[in-house]
Chains A and B, each alone.
Chain A
Amino acid sequence: MTGPNQTSGPSGPPVIGSSSAGPIQTSGPSGPPVIGPVLLSAEALTKRFGATLALDALDLQIAAGEFFALLGGSGSGKSTLLRIIAGFEAPDAGRLLLDGRDISATPPWARPVNMMFQSYALFPHLTVADNVAYGLRRAGVAAAERAKRVGDALAMVGLEGFDRRRPHQLSGGQKQRVALARSLVMRPRLLLLDEPLGALDAGLRERTGFELRALQRATGAAFVMVTHDQEEALALADRVALLDGGRIAQLGAPRAIYEKPASRFVARFLGAANVLEGRAAEGRFESAEAGITFAGDIPPGTVAVALRPERIAILPAPADGPNRVRGTVEDVAFRGDDSLLLIRTEAGAVLRVAHAEEDGAPPARGAVVGLGWEPGDVVALPA
């Protein structure tokens, strides 16, 4: 399925941080390539809050018209970065270029960047139409054109006929659409979205996610989304940057990040993979905690390996040797298409194993099974 296990090369993250304004190009092993001229460029952005380093000399380039996700936990710096791009925070060091022009010192009201707030921040004393018209009014757009653009924006988000309503008369999903319309009516080159799906219930998230992507394609604006939800980031974005401690831990197409995490942190943050620590020697990787020898393309200096649950097969008969292990089924969770098995190896580590429904009934709790995987499925982690 995947290519050779390299952590750098054509499928690795693109080299970032150069101040050249050339096109950004990245392609995952099977994701679509993202090519475009650089719209926004962050150069060595640094921001401190007291003793905390929120952004640590962060370099980042956003291409025109791409859907970009800033993914990270709390304190990763993703929200700080968003607020710096919007202009609500000033960086302590570094520059922010939009179309090659330094906007580090431009106040938020003068930036051609708009933001959709997590709380939506709809003005409670204004109607839906007046909320959407607010920015156009500030820009001095004439009444006739204003009305037309407000109507168009509301139609774009599917809220025709809601213009006389007030924010408190809307559902959460409708508020989100008004907030979107209010930002998009300004025709921004860059739209910032702070946890856009965070306040929606599960049923609405998937639909809204697809709608966001459709709007992004229709408007041609670059969308930069902040989220803590890796599924959301991987599902929506063309490119994802995973932030950790104010730095980019990994940047690339969703599939590339998912298939080839660059570090233990990335592999663990994305959640699903088994991450096992150990030592690399002579092309092999010994994990003492799991009692497993991994064979594959293991470069020297590998400190851990990642192995996806769906890549682990339950063998007809337990076998020994590299890429093989025995274990006891501790628990089975049915998930629809497959079952997730927790299997404790004889050395004591617990592996997460996905068992597809089409392969029949999963082994029962307490059963001793043999596990195996292809050498190509072992992802070596250098850090």
Chain B
Amino acid sequence: MGPRLTHWLIALAVMVLIYSGVIILMAHPRHYWGTAGNDLIEPLFEVPLGPNYHAIGWTRGTPFFDCTGGPETANRLVEPWNKNGWARSLHFLAAWFFLAGLIVYLAIGLFTGHARKYLLPQRSELGCKNPWHDVRAHLHLPMPSADPGPPYSILQKLAYALVVFVALPLTFLTGITMSPAISASYPILLDVFGGTQSARTIHFFTFAFLAVFVLVRLAMILLTGPARQLRGMILGR
């Protein structure tokens, strides 16, 4: 009951976070590594997204007088598209629900043995044969039929454990590292991730990983009987 409720709370929050996060990313699709990043710094990579993609440019100087060769104003960077305030507010609002859900889920998972019982791979499952066999089974149609809920196959366990114990906490930590108020109080966050811009880039990669996870997971649900799987995810049977 608890894991299912928090699953849906986190799932809903993550959907809103992805939506608002993409809007935020549209304002500045460039990513940097290190402590600093701006229009004048060479980006690590730039996501082809929104009106600001490859839109760094300079305005022409405006002459002060009506003659050529006279003094001009300095060049300025062109004004970027920058209307994402609502997305930031939505991102932070959803992040509160995400954080609450994640804390409750991790508490349930760690203290009731839920995680150890269902998510952590057993030593016997991690031999060379079993994961490989599972990978091969997933590459053929029809998908191996799976009953909703645990016991999970080895690939499921690895994917879920990676999401719950690595990707989600890492997304949260890199997210708060970008907050000047929080990094001022806890500069260790900047040391751990190597600077605000590095944290932002890691934040982007955890988002990409989670987005792919959601897509693959939805595909698996569709391929293994969506009605039955959804009933299991909601009602637990």
- Are A and B co-members of a single complex? no
